[in-house]
Amino acid sequence: MSVLLAVTAACLFGIGTWLLLQRRLTRIIIGLGLIGHGTNILLITSGGRGGLPPLIGRGEKDDFADPLPQALALTAIVITFGVMAFLLAMAYRSWQVTHDDLVADDLEDRLVGASVRLDSDVADVEAADLEASSDSSADAPGQPDDEPAEMTGDDPGTSDTEEDR
């Protein structure tokens, strides 16, 4: 494996991972694409040094490039391409639904989290009052079974998701 290709693969993996950790869906998708390219380069270089096309009569056995990793990389590229198309369609649908590129918080996690906060409040009302008075930004934890639309005030899309299909 040449140093240049190794460094390229490493950079693609690194940048891809960084993009993957972002909150914007488009960046996540670009990150996944870069990681896919990184794996393909890794796959190509796994066949060792390059050489002649492996056709009988063109040269000796040792002159040929290893065709198998190229076939594998081709398969991997096709699969990545198909999945990437699906991802883009999904991202477009997500934008249609939420009109936002940000990945929203998970609703059930919020509900479970809110109910835990409620339990501790019930157990220790005074402490909760103190906390509420000291922290004006705390939301009212009185209704753990709020309608989903109310729990995700920062996520305007979840309430009007039924678009015409």
Question: Would you tell me which residues interact with other proteins (CB under 8 A)?
Answer: 1, 20, 25, 28, 32, 35-36, 38-40, 42-43, 45-48, 61, 66, 68-69, 72, 75-76, 79, 82-83, 86-87, 90, 93-94, 97-98, 103-104, 106-109, 111-112, 115-116, 145, 147, 157-158, 161-162, 165
Q: Any residues with CB less than 8 A from the CB of 92 and at least 6 apart, and which?
A: none
Tokens of 60: 């000796």
Q: Residue 94 CB, nearest distance to other proteins (Å)?
A: 5
Write down the least CB distance from residue 59 to other proteins, Å. Answer: 15
Identity of the residue numbered 132:
A
User: Which amino acid belongs to residue 85?
Assistant: A
Closer residue to other proteins (CB): 85 or 130: 85
Picking from 9, 34, 31, 35, the residue whose alpha carbon sits closest to that of residue 20 is: 31
What is the b/e burial string over 137-165, where b = at least 16 CB atoms within 10 angstroms of the residue's CB? eeeebeeeeeeeeebbeebeeeeeeeeee
Shortest approach of other proteins to residue 79 CB, angstroms? Answer: 5
Q: How far apart are CA 115 and CA 117, in angstroms?
A: 5
Buried residues in 41-72 as b, exposed as e (16+ CB within 10 A): bbbbbebeeeeeeeeeeeeeeeebbeeebeee
Could you tell me the smallest distance in angstroms from the CB atom of residue 139 to other proteins?
Answer: 19
Q: In the complex with other proteins, which residue's Cβ is closer, 112 or 127?
A: 112
Choose between 131 and 155: whose C-beta lies nearer to other proteins: 155
In the bound state with other proteins, the residue whose beta carbon lies nearer, of 23 and 129, is 23
Using the minimum distance from each CB to other proteins, give the nearer residue, 124 or 156.
156
Report, in Å, the least distance between residue 130 CB and other proteins: 26
